[in-house]
């Protein structure tokens, strides 16, 4: 097992890999006194992220839409870790009014906040518009998180150093975001194209957040968790999943499913690792920083972030547009 007691250097990477679990990346870390917020906390990667952080002493705010499911998830963590310090926050990321209300109450209650894991999301859904009139994957995966994080940034800066981890996907390589046609008015809707656009937005969000807030001690990091069997793939048949993984990994590299603790490891690592201290604006996978891909390169051994997804000008344009959309 690799521990965080190693003296890291960029030449040999983080010391972790695709097989590392949440407990591996937190080995040797005491998170007492730290307070984090995790969206999508009631199941899947979000639940494992909460469990891992709480088991190492952190106070964790569990943010989710379904209160009863979130309470059941919290009870499960407490049964395994009786000293877990957990708080619950009701928020529907598909509704900007719900996000505003949740953020207002959370900020008013006060307290430190050392990090956010923007984990919740939907994937490859049939075409639908949110209650605010935005394509649903863009609305939930990006815009709701954008508003929530924006409202919490002063609190994060007051608790700095702090990090915002935007959970993206290798699926960002399947489709760029069209800032002039977010709702597919002028294009045919394709679920994976919309998913790729939303996941590209997650990376761009982290890039611009980092540029704007790093001088105040808040860093933005985007991550790809890997392929994990969770509720996220509820709309996909086995055939569609197989084709998706081939597209995401470039078709020429082997693909291996991760367990949920392995899948959640990269976001936990990005949130807490000393290896990333004073760093941000990058895309990470397999608990390490990923290469930026040249325009004519699909992946590097199945890894890498598209250059367009870390383009500063596009990140600034998306931030400005998101500001206008949320009001």
* Residue-by-residue DSSP string for 249-281: TTSSS----B-HHHHHHHHHHHHH-GGGTT--S
* Residue-by-residue DSSP string for 90-147: E--TT-HHHHHHHHHHHHHH-----EEEE-----SPPS-B-TTSSBHHIIIIIIHHHH
Alpha-carbon gap, residue 147 to 33, rounded angstroms:
26
Angle at 128 between CA 320 and CA 116, to 5 degrees: 50
Please identify every residue annotated as catalytic: 168, 195, 199
Give the bridge partners for 89, in sequence order: 63
Nearest Cα neighbor of 191 from 246, 143, 123 is 123
Nearest Cα neighbor of 172 from 144, 148, 146, 137 is 137
Alpha-carbon gap, residue 229 to 238, rounded angstroms:
11
Element (H, E) at 48: helix 44-55
For the chain, give the number of residues. 327
Could you count the other beta carbons within 10 Å of the beta carbon of residue 129?
13
Nearest Cα neighbor of 124 from 239, 233, 223 is 233
Alpha-carbon gap, residue 248 to 9, rounded angstroms:
29
Rounded to 10 degrees, the C-alpha dihedral 29/277/220/296 comes to: -110
**Residue 168, burial from CB neighbour count under 10 angstroms (0-12, 13-18, 19+):** buried
N-terminal to C-terminal alpha carbon distance within the chain = 47
């Amino acid at each position: 097992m690799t521990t965080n007691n190693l003296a890291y250097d960029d030449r040999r990477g983080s010391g972790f890999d695709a097989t590392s679990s949440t407990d591996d990346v937190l080995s040797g870390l005491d998170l007492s006194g730290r307070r984090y917020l995790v969206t999508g906390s009631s199941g899947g990667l979000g639940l494992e992220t909460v469990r891992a952080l709480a088991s190492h002493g952190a106070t964790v705010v569990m943010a989710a839409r379904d209160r009863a499911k979130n309470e059941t998830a919290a009870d499960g963590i407490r049964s395994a870790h009786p000293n877990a310090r957990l708080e619950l926050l009701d928020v529907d990321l598909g509704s900007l009014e719900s996000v505003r209300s949740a953020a207002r109450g959370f900020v008013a209650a006060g307290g430190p906040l050392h990090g956010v894991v923007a984990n919740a999301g939907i994937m490859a859904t049939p075409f639908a518009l949110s209650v605010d009139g935005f394509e649903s994957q863009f609305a939930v995966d990006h815009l709701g998180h954008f508003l929530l994080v924006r409202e919490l940034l002063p609190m994060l800066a007051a608790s700095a150093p702090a990090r915002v981890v935007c959970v993206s996907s290798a699926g960002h390589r399947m489709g760029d975001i069209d800032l002039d046609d977010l709702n597919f008015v002028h294009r045919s809707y394709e679920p994976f194209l919309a998913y790729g656009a939303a996941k590209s937005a997650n990376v761009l969000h982290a890039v611009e957040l980092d540029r704007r807030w790093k001088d105040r001690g808040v860093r933005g990091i985007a991550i790809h968790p890997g392929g994990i069997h969770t509720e996220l793939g509820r709309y996909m048949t086995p055939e569609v999943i197989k084709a998706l993984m081939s597209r995401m990994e470039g078709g020429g590299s082997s693909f291996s499913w991760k367990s949920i603790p392995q899948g959640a490891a990269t976001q936990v690592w990005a949130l807490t690792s000393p290896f990333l201290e004073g760093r941000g604006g990058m895309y990470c996978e397999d608990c390490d920083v990923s290469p930026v891909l040249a325009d004519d390169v699909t992946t590097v051994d199945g890894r890498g972030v598209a250059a367009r997804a870390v383009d500063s000008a596009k990140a600034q344009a998306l931030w400005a547009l998101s500001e206008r959309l949320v009001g």
